[in-house]
Chain A
């Protein structure tokens, strides 16, 4: 039987791992390679790495990491993949098929595109034709307004698109996306739980697996994401600030009657 997946999301900004809040506040929390080693030892289900840098400066700042100077995101990916024996999805600053190819060559198993997919929807189709649908994850950032309406925003939350999340998810699927990653900007870093209405609506609008993300503050939030229809549940901050974040989350999911992979 297929298990529901539990996925840590790592945010890379200019060579350092950061925690994020409502897409605006970013605090440095660690080294991008050491964290992956930890997750590998924990035997996690899968890993999503998002490069949210806005310029091209990468700097690991410390020289005690036993790794050569990593001056761009692709070098970091290459290092990461050496200790990563679980599936790795890589996202951020992918605008062309060639960008995808470079990431697959360096050890990514799937790539995720967000702003570029909205601007150039055919990029989804081109990627799917070459690398297969299963390797193309379309990531959707959503903002929920005061009146409860939801809109897709791009460029790290800065540019509104006028698109409804359910419509865009359905289009992305038609264009060839193999998976949808849903992030909610107003829940990001708040610990108040997933935007369940959003997750439910998007899951109903597509037949590809949906990964829920944004808002997890305690382990019980994961099971609610699965019950809303998500195939996989992801989070970022909680993985860095709680002890045994994998094992305890899996236990909580199991208790809620959800089929997970116990290791």
Chain B
């Protein structure tokens, strides 16, 4: 089982690579789209702004091949911005189109509360849906590490397999067939996060 981490110039690639490596994955950093053909699973990491991420994916020639490989049944895990890019539309700095793999919009978190601060940075607990394979063997209400201001609001809530509360609920993780995503950073969430990565690897029999 080979895992490709997509290098589209937007990520904490090193951290993601190290975490997958620790879980025993045969992981490599894909610098060119055609390398995805060699992989059994794909990871779309991401730290940064939506429009810039989408611009890099488009200019780097990633969009079509990612969609093709997903169509071939390969699993994809989007992390943070990588999950948001799965949406139809992003609204960070400007309105722009996403990969449209899971219909929905990415919008800024908001609240009128005095204590509300953005970005939402730090450890927060997840309400995982019963039976969600990503969370198998992870203690209920485990804390994961978040650092973001925007969140994914999918049209079809049945794709949400975990929620988190920060002055209101938002999508912590998402799953549609072989397309998965987490708003938090599993690679930075210590034991629970590493376990989640392990669960992802197992999905494709890795």
**1/0 contact string of A111-125 vs chain B (CB within 8 Å):** 000000000000000
Question: Which interface residue of A109, A110, A208 has the most chain B CB atoms within 10 A?
Answer: A109
User: Which single member of B14, B47, B122, B194 contacts A132 (CB below 8 Å)?
Assistant: B47
User: Which single member of A81, A85, A134 contacts B119 (CB below 8 Å)?
Assistant: A134
Given A86-B145, A207-B117, A207-B118, A129–B15 Cβ distance below 8 Å? Answer: no
B147 at the interface (CB under 8 A from A): yes
A263 at the interface (CB under 8 A from B): yes
Q: A56 CA to B189 CA in the complex, in Å?
A: 33
A95 at the interface (CB under 8 A from B): no
Interface pair A231/B12, CB less than 8 Å apart: no
B95-137 interface with A by 8 A CB criterion: 116-125
A45 at the interface (CB under 8 A from B): yes
User: Which single member of A43, A105, A131, A178 contacts B121 (CB below 8 Å)?
Assistant: A178
Interface pair B188/A109, CB less than 8 Å apart: yes
Count of interface residues, chain A, beta-carbon cutoff 8 Å = 41
Interface pair B48/A179, CB less than 8 Å apart: no
Interface pair A3/B123, CB less than 8 Å apart: yes
User: Which single member of B122, B149, B190, B193 contacts A3 (CB below 8 Å)?
Assistant: B122
> Smallest CB-CB separation from B13: which chain A residue?
A105
Count of interface residues, chain B, beta-carbon cutoff 8 Å = 40
CB distance from B6 to the nearest CB of A (A): 14
- Residues in B with CB closer than 8 Å to A132 are 47-49, 81
User: Which single member of A2, A3, A107, A133 contacts B14 (CB below 8 Å)?
Assistant: A107
Interface pair A231/B15, CB less than 8 Å apart: no
> Smallest CB-CB separation from A262: which chain B residue?
B143
> Smallest CB-CB separation from B191: which chain A residue?
A43
B175 at the interface (CB under 8 A from A): no
A5 at the interface (CB under 8 A from B): yes
Interface pair B165/A1, CB less than 8 Å apart: yes
A108 at the interface (CB under 8 A from B): yes
CB distance from A237 to the nearest CB of B (A): 23
Q: A231 CA to B117 CA in the complex, in Å?
A: 9
CB distance from A87 to the nearest CB of B (A): 5
A232 at the interface (CB under 8 A from B): yes
User: Which single member of B13, B15, B143 contacts A261 (CB below 8 Å)?
Assistant: B143
Interface pair B123/A5, CB less than 8 Å apart: yes
Q: A3 CA to B122 CA in the complex, in Å?
A: 7
- Residues in A with CB closer than 8 Å to B143 are 3, 261
Interface pair A129/B47, CB less than 8 Å apart: no
- Residues in B with CB closer than 8 Å to A129 are 49, 52, 93
Which B residues are closer than 8 A to A by beta carbons?
Answer: 11-15, 18-19, 22, 47-49, 52, 81, 93, 116-125, 143, 145-149, 165-166, 185, 187-191, 193-194
Instruction: List 20 A–B pairs whose Cβ atoms lie within 8 Å, in order of A's numbering.
Output: A3-B124, A40-B190, A43-B190, A85-B18, A85-B193, A86-B145, A87-B145, A105-B13, A107-B18, A109-B188, A129-B49, A129-B52, A130-B49, A130-B52, A132-B48, A134-B47, A134-B121, A179-B121, A208-B118, A209-B121
Known contacts A109-B147, A208-B119, A209-B117, then 15 further A-B pairs from the complex at CB < 8 Å, ordered by chain A residue: A1-B165, A2-B122, A5-B122, A81-B18, A86-B188, A87-B147, A87-B188, A104-B47, A106-B14, A107-B12, A130-B52, A131-B47, A131-B49, A134-B47, A208-B118
Which 4 A/B pairs are nearest by Cβ-Cβ distance?
A107-B14, A134-B119, A261-B123, A132-B48
